[in-house]
Structure 1
Amino acid sequence: MTDWARVRADGFAVPTDRPLTDLVAELSGLLRSPDPVLRDVQAYPTLATWIGRGDLSTDQLRGLGDEMVTRFADPEVQARTFAPLILRAIVSAGVFEATWVPPFERWYVAEEDLRGYDDKLGWLHAVAHGADLLGTLGLHSAVEPVQMLRLGIGRLLTPTPYVVRDMEDDRLGYALAATLTRSDLTETDATEWLDPAIRVLSNPPAEGITPEVTNTIRTLRATYLLIDHGVRLPGATTLTRIPHQDQVKTKLADVVRIVTPYYL
């Protein structure tokens, strides 16, 4: 087994004593590890760096992407939640397969374990890691932006016992705001994805403010702020304004006002 701590210390230089295919396979296996040091400190940053730096061929990236898609059905939560991070890196590197999107959508809206951090497993971050991929796909020309907007609100409104933590709501808010910068969104598409939130929040459960309601309001407040201020897209040096800005802000305010009428 490669000394991955040494690889990290050496600036993630690719070891030359083993075939790259074997190294990638080992790193991919470590992304399933319950050991957070092996998974989060060593395997993930090494593989993400190699992908971003162009060390892997297109065929290797495509094969790795296919493997990550199978992880969405993995019984281990850490395997599921680290798969979208690698897929995001692969798509950002220019390799995309339309067949990767539906398995991601099914997993993201249905994932039940939304713990941010576990004392033994370390960071899990299903909502945030999924949001990172959602935002990347939302900016991809081969993906319908409204598809990702609907996925985001679906994730938020799915009943859960967890109030998300560690800025995960902000990361999903950013993903939604980034998707809303797409110039091919119609005014209808840019606003109607919020209709499910209006329906759900207008009919509150008997127990009052549930975790998913809290998650939804916090995330949409972050989205509102980004839309109002402008969105800094990956690699950009200036802020991007979204089309239909006023209409989207009005609709977001309508949603938030249902739960917090004093806020806007």
Structure 2
Amino acid sequence: MTDWAQVRVAGFEVPDDRPVGELVAELTGMLRSPDPMVRDKQAYSVLATWIGRGVLPAQQLRALGDEMVPRFGDSEIQARTFAPLVLDAIVSAGVYEPSWVPPYERWYVAEDDLRGYDVKLGWLHAVAHGADLLGTLGLHSAVEPVQMLRLGIGRLLTPTDYVFRDMEDDRLGYALAATLTRRELADSDVVEWLDPALRAFSNPPVEGIAPEVTNTIRTLRALYVFVDHGVRVPASAADVTQIPQGDAVKTKIAEVLRVVTPYYL
């Protein structure tokens, strides 16, 4: 078995004592580990680095993506939430399969364990990790951007007991902003995906504000800032990209928020 901690210390150089395929198979198994050091600091960090450096050929990336998709239905939360991170790295590296998208979409709106950080399991971050993939798909030419916008608002409005606390709102807000930079979006597309929130907020619950409403408000506030100031696409880019129909998006967000917080806008 490879000493993955040493691989990390050595700058993620590929060990030369075993075939790369065997190394990747070991790493993908480690991605299911409940130990955050094994899963996050070793398996994911090595895989993501190798994918980014082009170590794995397209055929191997495609096979790895196919292996990640069934994990959206895994019984272990950490296996489910690290699958979108690996797919995000793969798609960002230029390998994309349409068959990966529907299982991801079904998982993202249905996942009910939204914990960000767990003392024993470490980072789980279903919303944030799913948002990273949403943003990457939202920028992909083979994916309809409005499809990702609707997925984002669907995730936000799905009933939950969890109130975001680990910057999930910023991660999803960024993903939505990146998707909104797609110039082929029609004028109606950039605003109509927010209509479900407008309808939901127009019928407030009798017993206080539901967590999903709070989560949606926070995310839309983050999105407003991105739209107002521009967004770096990708996040590491030096230049800022402006949202083409930014004024219309801001007006719609303000309309949605005004229903719940009339004193705010």
Normalising TM by the smaller chain, what interval?
Answer: over 0.9
Match of 2:116 in 1: 116
Deviation string 1:59-114 (CA, Å, 9 cap, x unpaired) is: 10000000111110101000000000000000000000001000000000000000
Work out the CA distance in 2 between the residues paired with 1:258 and 1:126.
28
- Please report how far the alpha carbon of residue 236 of structure 1 lies from its aligned counterpart in structure 2 after TM superposition: 2.6
For 1:196, the aligned partner's letter is P
Paired position in structure 2 for 1:263: 264
2:203 paired with 1:203: yes
Other-structure match for 2:239? 238
Map 1:133-212 onto structure 2 (within 5 A). 133-212=133-212
Q: What's the TM-score, normalizing by structure 2?
A: 0.98
Partner of 2:73: helix, strand, or coil?
coil
User: What is the rounded CA distance, in whole Å, between the counterparts of 1:185 and 1:10 in structure 2?
Assistant: 45
CA distance in 2, matches of 1:207, 1:13: 56
Aligned residue pair count: 264
Task: Please name the residue that 1:23 is paired with.
Answer: 23
**How far apart in 2 are the matches of 1:170 and 1:85?**
17
Mapped partners of 2:142, 2:165: distance in 1: 31
Question: Which residue of the partner structure matches residue 58 of structure 1?
Answer: 58
Amino acid aligned to 2:95: V
Q: After superposition, where does 1:41-80 map in structure 2 within 5 Å?
A: 41-80=41-80
TM-score (norm 1): 0.99
> Shift of residue 260 of structure 1?
1.1
Shift of 1:164: 1.4
| 2:88 counterpart residue number | 88
Kindly provide the amino acid, as one letter, of the partner of residue 76 in structure 1. Answer: E
- Please tell me the residue identity of whatever aligns with 1:139: L
SS of equivalent to 1:253: helix
How far the C-alpha of 1:251 sits from its partner, in A, is 0.2
Separation (CA, whole Å) in 2 of partners of 1:141 and 1:263: 37
Distance across 1 between alignment mates of 2:207 and 2:64: 44
Work out whether 1:35 is the aligned partner of 2:35: yes
Paired with 2:230 and 2:10, the residues of 1 have a C-alpha distance of 38
**5+ residue gaps, structure 1:** none
Per-residue CA distance 1:147-189 (angstroms, 9 max, x = gap): 0000000000000000012111100000000000000000101
- The AA in structure 2 aligned to 1:63 is A
- Deviation of 1:247 after TM superposition, in Å, equals 0.8
Q: CA deviation at 1:259?
A: 1.0
Counterpart of 1:126 in structure 2 is 126
User: Distance in 1 between the 2:50 and 2:207 partners?
Assistant: 48
Aligned residue for 2:88, secondary structure, equals helix
Tell me, in whole angstroms, the C-alpha distance in 1 between the residues paired with 2:80 and 2:164. Answer: 17
Letter in 1 for 2:175: A
- Give the letter aligned to residue 134 of structure 1: L
- The reply to whether residue 100 of structure 1 matches residue 100 of structure 2 is yes
Structure 2 CA distance, aligned partners of 1:104 and 1:93?
Answer: 18
Paired with 2:19 and 2:191, the residues of 1 have a C-alpha distance of 50
Distance 1:117 1:207 in 2: 28
CA offset digits 1:114-133 (Å, max 9, x no partner): 00111111110000000000
Amino acid at match of 1:252: I
Higher mean displacement: 7-16 or 238-247: 238-247
